[in-house]
């Protein structure tokens, strides 16, 4: 433990908030010191588990009804310090934002306006592209007293599992199959898991949440871009740091199964499982899923997910029969044609027939991303050896991860596996199959097959929850206690820039546009029109006064100016333009 360990606020005491709190306790030197949660039971139970203990009582600054209450308290606390008041409680160094997806924007904007806090936001960043851009702009203004941008991380936990970290090293650093030509990545959501979250639960309607590609699979898209877009800069200073950006995006998918025309005739007019004549034989019976299912049901003594999503305080019932009665009572709740639509939209209906729900998000979707050849023209080998060396020998060095390639992502609901992703990768020298526990490499050159068994630290995304939490809190600690700049901590420890977060989220929205319009989208043109133009407009509104705190932003814009010929400027420390795009490229 550091003499002054990072102090952490958790905003949202649901399953994700608890997962990150457990990870902070078990694998970092940070301490959870405060929670913001409107549900009184969740807030109190969280505090007993992670802050004041089962026998203790909350003290000043340790619990808040919501994030607004925290911001008001923190503003007052800082004012007390400035006024010279003695014995003011310590504040927090960082916040984990674990509220509902549609609330991310307002919470992050509120914290950024407060300023001076490192932020980790659960995925997705936001539910609309415009909100993502707004958050990007706000996070760039979230600075410390010296004007440095605070550390930011997104809940793309797949980047941080030991399995995926090893896979990336094998592909990009060890180059075990040479240049990657094709990737086929599958997320099997799970036949009953999909009904819990995307037919009956929070993420069932695009209008109240977002497309399932975003809410379920944005970190799958992120992993593909992490493997195929962003290699150079994180591996070796000798590699080109310009990301190899995609060329085209296309997608197809729909709500195929969970709709009224698939309802068994024998179910008749029933709209709730507990009143359905075929409930006992239906695999989607809510009674079966939440009560009698092996491992996940209440009868298996499970009071965690998914049961506690239906009844948040289920573990507070000492009498098991009372807990069962409460669960069944909640599952029996239903609505009819006379129920106001707003009431239907604003809550979950976990006992509702999966064929009679108001869901509309895709239960199957395929996304295809392509890249064109984009060799590094500045490579010394190319500049000085092209005329004297055999091109067959030269080409692999010249392309080195920047050749044409294709990635296909498949999200599918009807699977036995629950989120146990698997990936096939095909390269010029071999192929790789990676599932949730192994990585198998077939080498075309030697004929050998090698299997790796990465450690699985935790059930939470194969250790990804622990890994992300560990790296973020370590970054906060290095800045707080060891004199690191936030830029260094962001790059070396978090390993993901705000720009990469924007790119992977934008890719999801681009894929959705391609799906709905049944077209192949030119990525560079789409990015420039829908993302970059809005970021630049916001930056230069009223004059290009940016200052030194935007170094990472300008690095990002310079890259895109080179590749896409969009306006880009560099500023001196007081915000005056000192270079144009042409100067930068030269």
pLDDT at residue number 477:
97
* One domain, residues 370 and 481: no
Boundary of a domain, candidates 490, 505, 533:
490
* Residue 500 placed within a domain: no
Asked if residue 331 belongs to a domain, the reply is yes
Helix 129-140 with 533-540: angle, nearest 10 deg: 40
382: CATH: 3.30.360
Residue 29: count other Cβ atoms within 10 Å of its Cβ: 15
pLDDT at 142 over 80: yes
For position 347, what pLDDT does the model report? 93
**189: phi then psi, degrees, rounded to nearest 5:** -70, -40
- CB contact at 8 A, 581 and 563: no
- Say what percent of the chain tops pLDDT 90: 78
Question: Is a pLDDT exceeding 60 seen at residue 393?
Answer: no
State which residues form the domain around 226: 179-258+360-428
Alpha-carbon dihedral sign for residues 173, 177, 182, 186:
negative
Measured CA to CA, the distance from residue 319 to residue 306 in angstroms comes to 19
Cis peptide before 535 (omega within 30 of 0): no
Query: pLDDT class for 386, splitting at 50, 70, 90?
Result: very low
3-state SS of 369-436?
EEECCCCCCCCHHHHHHCCCCCHHHHHHHHHCCCCCEEEEEEEECCCCCCCCCEEEEEECCEEEEECC
Res 353: pLDDT: 98
Burial grade of 144 (CB within 10 A; 0-12, 13-18, 19 or more): middle
Q: What is the average per-residue pLDDT within 16-40?
A: 96
Could you give the CA distance from residue 99 to residue 96 in angstroms, rounded to a whole number? 9
Span 329-347, average pLDDT: 95
Average pLDDT, the chain: 87
Q: What is the CATH number of the domain that holds 1?
A: 3.40.50.720
Do residue 412 and residue 558 come from a single domain?
A: no
Q: Is residue 120 part of a domain?
A: yes
Ranges 272-281, 399-408, 443-452: which has the least confidence: 399-408
405: in domain: yes
Q: What is the pLDDT of residue 229?
A: 87
User: Are 318 and 376 found together in one domain?
Assistant: no
Pick the range with the lowest mean pLDDT from 168-182, 440-454, 538-552: 538-552
Whole-number pLDDT of residue 582: 39
pLDDT of 43 over the 50 cut: yes
The b-or-e profile of 39-54 (16+ CB within 10 A means b, else e) is eeebbbbbbebbbbee
Task: Assess contact for 92 and 7: CB atoms under 8 A.
Answer: yes
pLDDT digits (tens, 9 = 90+) for 487-507: 999 999 999 999 999 999 999
Say whether pLDDT at 162 is over 60.
yes
Asked whether the predicted pLDDT for residue 438 surpasses 90, the reply is: yes
Structure confidence at residue 243 (pLDDT): 87
High-pLDDT (> 70) share of the chain, % = 84
Give me the sign of the Cα torsion angle 525, 531, 532, 538.
Answer: positive
Give pLDDT, residue 388. Answer: 34
Joined tokens for residue 301: 């003594």
Lowest mean pLDDT among 9-13, 235-239, 360-364: 235-239
Is 537's pLDDT higher than 80?
Answer: no
- On whether both 72 and 98 belong to a single domain, the answer is yes
Do residue 286 and residue 414 come from a single domain?
no
Same-domain check for residues 210 and 118: no
Of 345, 380, 409, the residue at which a domain comes to its end is: 345
Residue 442 falls inside a structural domain: no
The phi and psi torsions of 412 (rounded to 5 degrees) equal -140, 135
Residue 556: partners with Cβ closer than 8 Å, 6 or more residues away: 497, 499
pLDDT, tens digit (0-9, with 9 covering 90-100), for 457-479: 766 567 889 999 999 999 999 99
pLDDT digits (tens, 9 = 90+) for 72-100: 999 999 999 999 999 999 999 999 999 99
Domain tally for the chain? 4
Q: Is residue 110 part of a domain?
A: yes
Average pLDDT over residues 104-125: 97
The pLDDT confidence band at residue 549, using thresholds 50, 70 and 90, is very low
Local structure of 565: helix, strand or coil? coil
Does residue 131 fall inside a structural domain?
yes
Contact criterion met (CB below 8 Å) for 408 and 394: no
For residue 435, how many other CB atoms are within 10 A of its CB? 14
User: Quick one: pLDDT band at residue 241, thresholds 50, 70, 90?
Assistant: low
- Both 244 and 383 in a single domain? yes
- Residue 401 Cα to chain centre, angstroms: 25
- As a whole number of angstroms, the distance between CA 423 and CA 528 comes to 30
Q: What pLDDT digit, counting tens, does each position of 401-428 carry?
A: 889 999 999 999 999 999 999 999 999 9
Q: Residue 398: its pLDDT value, please?
A: 64
Tell me the DSSP string of 157-210: GGGGSHHHHHHHIIIIIS-TTSSEEEEEEEEE--HHHHIIIIISSTTS-TTTS-
**Residue 431 zone, left/alpha/beta (φ > 0; ψ -120 to 50; rest):** beta
Report the alpha-carbon distance of residue 121 to residue 434 in Å, rounded. 28
Residue 381 has pLDDT above 80, yes or no: no
Q: Mapped to the 3 state alphabet, what secondary structure does 36-64 carry?
A: ECCCHHHHHHHHHHHCCCCCCCCCCCCEE
Is the pLDDT assigned to residue 274 strictly greater than 50? Answer: yes
Verify that 210 and 156 share a domain, yes or no.
no
Question: Are 353 and 258 contacting, i.e. CB atoms less than 8 angstroms apart?
Answer: no
Number of residues assigned to the chain: 586
Among residues 142, 224, 24, 35, the alpha carbon closest in space to that of 490 is found at 142
Are residue 251 and residue 271 in the same domain, yes or no? no
Nearest-Å Rg of the Cα atoms of the chain is: 25
| Closest to 285 measured CA to CA, from 255, 221, 328 | 328
Read off the pLDDT of each residue in 382-391 and give the average, rounded to a whole number: 37
- CA 372 → CA 395, 402, 403, 435, distances in Å? 15, 8, 6, 28
Q: Cα separation of 492 and 378, whole Å?
A: 25
Q: Examine the domain organization and report whether 254 and 266 are in the same domain.
A: no
Task: Note the pLDDT of residue 401.
Answer: 81
Question: What is the value of pTM for the model shown?
Answer: 0.87
- Asked if the structure places residue 400 within a domain, the reply is yes
**Co-location of 254 and 388 in the same domain:** yes
- Whether residue 280 sits in one domain with residue 245: no
């Amino acid at each position: 433990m550091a003499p002054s360990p990072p102090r952490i606020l958790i905003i949202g005491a649901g399953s994700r908030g608890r997962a990150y709190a457990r990870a902070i306790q078990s694998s970092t030197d940070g301490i959870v010191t405060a929670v913001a949660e409107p549900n009184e039971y969740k807030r109190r139970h969280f505090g007993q588990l992670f802050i004041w203990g089962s026998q203790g009582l909350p003290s000043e600054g340790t619990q808040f009804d919501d994030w607004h209450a925290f911001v008001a308290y923190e503003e007052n606390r800082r004012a007390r310090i400035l006024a010279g008041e003695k014995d003011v409680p310590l504040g927090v160094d960082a916040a984990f934002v674990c509220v509902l997806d549609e609330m991310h924007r307002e919470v992050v904007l509120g914290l950024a306006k407060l300023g001076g806090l490192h932020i980790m936001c659960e995925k997705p960043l936001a539910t609309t592209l415009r909100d993502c851009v707004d958050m990007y702009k706000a996070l760039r203004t979230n600075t410390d007293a010296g004007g440095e941008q605070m550390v930011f991380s997104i809940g793309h936990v797949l980047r941080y599992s030991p399995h995926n970290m090893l896979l990336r090293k094998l592909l990009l650093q060890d180059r075990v199959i040479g240049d990657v030509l094709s990737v086929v990545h599958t997320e099997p959501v799970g036949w009953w898991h999909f009904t819990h979250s995307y037919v009956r639960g929070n993420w069932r309607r695009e209008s109240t949440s977002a497309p399932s590609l975003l809410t379920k699979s944005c970190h799958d898209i992120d992993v593909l871009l992490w493997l195929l877009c962003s290699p150079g800069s994180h591996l070796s200073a000798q590699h080109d740091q310009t990301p190899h950006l995609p060329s085209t995006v296309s997608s197809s998918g729909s709500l195929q199964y969970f709709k009224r025309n698939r309802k068994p005739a024998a179910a008749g007019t029933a709209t709730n499982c507990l009143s359905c004549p075929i409930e006992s034989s239906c695999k989607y019976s809510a009674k079966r899923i939440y009560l009698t299912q092996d491992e996940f049901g209440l009868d298996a003594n499970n009071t965690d997910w998914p049961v506690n999503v239906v009844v948040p305080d289920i573990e507070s019932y000492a009498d098991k029969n009372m807990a069962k009665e409460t669960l069944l009572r909640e599952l029996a709740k239903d609505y009819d044609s006379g129920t106001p639509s707003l009431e239907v939209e604003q809550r979950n209906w976990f006992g509702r027939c999966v064929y009679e729900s108001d869901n509309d998000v895709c239960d199957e979707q395929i996304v295809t991303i392509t890249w064109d050849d984009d060799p590094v023209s500045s490579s010394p080998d190319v500049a000085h050896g092209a005329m004297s060396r055999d091109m067959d020998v030269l080409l692999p060095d010249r392309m080195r991860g920047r050749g044409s390639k294709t990635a296909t992502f498949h999200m599918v609901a009807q699977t036995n596996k629950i989120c146990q992703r698997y990936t096939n990768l095909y390269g010029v020298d071999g192929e790789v199959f990676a599932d949730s526990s192994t990585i198998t490499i077939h080498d075309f050159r030697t004929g050998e097959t090698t299997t790796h068994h990465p450690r699985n630290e935790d059930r939470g995304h194969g250790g990804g929850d622990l890994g992300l939490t560990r790296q973020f809190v370590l970054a906060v600690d290095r800045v707080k206690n060891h004199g690191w700049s936030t830029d260094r901590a962001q790059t070396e420890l978090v390993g993901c820039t705000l720009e990469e977060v924007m790119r992977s989220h934008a890719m999801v929205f681009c894929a959705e546009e391609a799906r709905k319009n049944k077209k192949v989208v030119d990525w560079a043109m789409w990015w420039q029109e829908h993302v970059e133009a809005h970021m630049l407009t916001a930056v230069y509104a009223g004059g290009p006064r940016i200052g030194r705190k935007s170094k990472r932003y300008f690095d990002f814009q310079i890259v895109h100016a080179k590749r896409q010929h969009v306006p880009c400027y560099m500023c001196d420390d007081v915000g005056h333009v000192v270079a144009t795009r042409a100067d930068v490229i030269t």
